A and B are shown apart, each in its own frame.
Chain A
């Protein structure tokens, strides 16, 4: 079935909900019958918390089944384990692998050596995306819950950086293959944002940076969008300040709620704040309309995120390619 494995890289400023979006995208693809691997690379165990399963080991585990018969596997990529696996797989470094560990090189390479950590993380994603089981690719799609927008270009491009350090040798070849995958037609980098000034600015900067490095930008996902509740008439009245507390209070009283004018004032203030938020959202959405990438909106769910909410969000993400 799998002709090639799609790679979806999901990034976004901290606090915009990229882990949630990555998980919802996984559910969406599983809903289309696909076999999906959802990876996290920052050691936060955000996926386990979302799906309410125990902390993920360095091992691919099935965590959900899609309505369409697809499956979601999850993997928390740990750089140390990835390095040892890499050494074992490509170099059969039995004794030397242990020696590396003894000399503190595993620790050095994964925490200190510039870029190596990121090469290992992207390298594992590369391995999963290229893996075959019986003549076919193992996964239809691999989704990476990636580092935040501010670091994403450097993260994805780190193999170029290593290529600059290591001019020859297997690491160089590995780095080159990873870069090739990152720029392949099956790869998309999606940016998650909320409709606020700073995240939107970062998204626009991020698109420019990714594009200049020839990394393929996919969708911009507007997350936590507050739906508009106010009709045109109410909006106008609130903006003009012509909603009178006494009138609201009398409507409340007529329907059997509190008749206190201060309560009515509080409701009007909440309405004004809602309106201001809407205007801010609209202004930021307009800015993104010109970013040149397709937009998808996900609503703010006031009850928080659980598995049911992920299914709900997944429905909105059906168009992501």
Chain B
């Protein structure tokens, strides 16, 4: 697999966003504020990919961006991977049927919003059915290796998300597609999936396994003899036979798969695509965001900017954590309710100031390492987002419209 950070900071800088870097506002990095509205308003923006590590609010960010774009009059489809149940329900995503359906309740002004949830196995099955003869498809779909590959291969979900994106894009039905990426072990898996599939198709091992099935066993070398006998010893002969049957049946599809993977990859590099890296102000998530920004630059993929979710802000920054704490100590011991309440509010404030300072440090560090990346911070909401109003509120925060 490809290394993480082969790109030097200087090449990285030049490639960052063609859009969005010019706005004013309160961006924390020197890349300026990520102008979400400019991004969504630009008719040249055709695909927005939200990526980042697990648990940082990718799905919510993707849904909020899609809703905002639709309510600005664009025709939008949002492809989600694993939405929270109530959020899914509020978007009409009650079943996993791999078909985009209109979201009701969006305040549409000439725009439209469709949403769908990815069904990984079904997407894979459909690809097989589309590209193989019915008998061959049936043979593939029941092979134990296919069943395992389509449901549990690390990377299948990522690859199928890409595949689905390519399909949705090809229909031309929407002028903007917003994609949420799978909750991978690492945000980078998403970029590696098509490559990994291609490398499987090109692997010497596969070619060797295919060779005997293709007739004269002229390619079987002495080395391969050792290998197959070793594999037979370890796996049992029947496994290798199953594998060969599967690969032979799959063979006709391979060329098509690789082509599609390459096509999707090119689509991600195209001018109309914008990557939005999503993070939470935690060390691990910000580190993943850094890797991702570097990878995108290395792959020449267009980065729109960074969204830092769940940031703690304060309107009482004039009272420092230390002052608030010492005042609180004196007040909470008092006898008057007013004093005690004020003291408790100051304790809450002291904690918030400390959290805010830590988050600010993380954001500054990111900004220093990636000076060209436009950034926007989204304030932490006290409750979960599970309806369109909540998504609108997130959309406002993303666009810097205040609460």
Which A positions have Cβ atoms within 8 angstroms of B? 13-16, 19, 42-44, 46, 49, 87, 91, 93, 95-96, 99-100, 102-105, 107-108, 111-112, 114-115, 117-118, 147-148, 150, 154, 158, 161, 164-172, 196-199, 201, 229-231, 233-234, 237-238, 243, 247-248, 251-252, 255-258, 260, 262-263, 265-274, 276-277, 280, 302-304
Contact = CB atoms under 8 A, between A and B. Distances in A.
Nearest to B242: A165
Nearest to B196: A111
Interface stretch (B12-20, B292-300, B331-339): B331-339
Interface stretch (B28-36, B90-98, B144-152, B363-371): B144-152
B218 interface: no
B144 A171 contact: no
Interface string B15-56: 000000000000000000000000000000000000001111
Contacts, number: 222
B332 to A, nearest CB: 8
B200 A172 contact: no
A304 B283 contact: yes
Contact of B82 (A91, A108, A150, A268): A150
Contacts of A43: 185-186
Interface in B248-305: 280, 282-285, 287
A234 B280 contact: no
A162 to B, nearest CB: 9
Interface stretch (B72-80, B104-112, B167-175, B351-359): B351-359
A262 B314 CA distance: 12
Contacts of A248: 338, 341-342, 345
A297 B351 CA distance: 19
Chain B interface size range: 35 or more
User: What secondary structure prevails in chain B residues at the interface with A?
Assistant: helix
B340 interface: yes
A105 B205 CA distance: 6
A171 B315 contact: no
A197 B315 contact: no
B314 to A, nearest CB: 6
Interface in B353-394: 354-355, 358, 380, 382-384, 386
B216 interface: no
A153 B339 CA distance: 52
Interface stretch (B61-69, B113-121, B132-140, B231-239): B231-239
A172 B236 CA distance: 8
A15 B226 contact: no
A234 B332 CA distance: 11
A104 B203 contact: yes
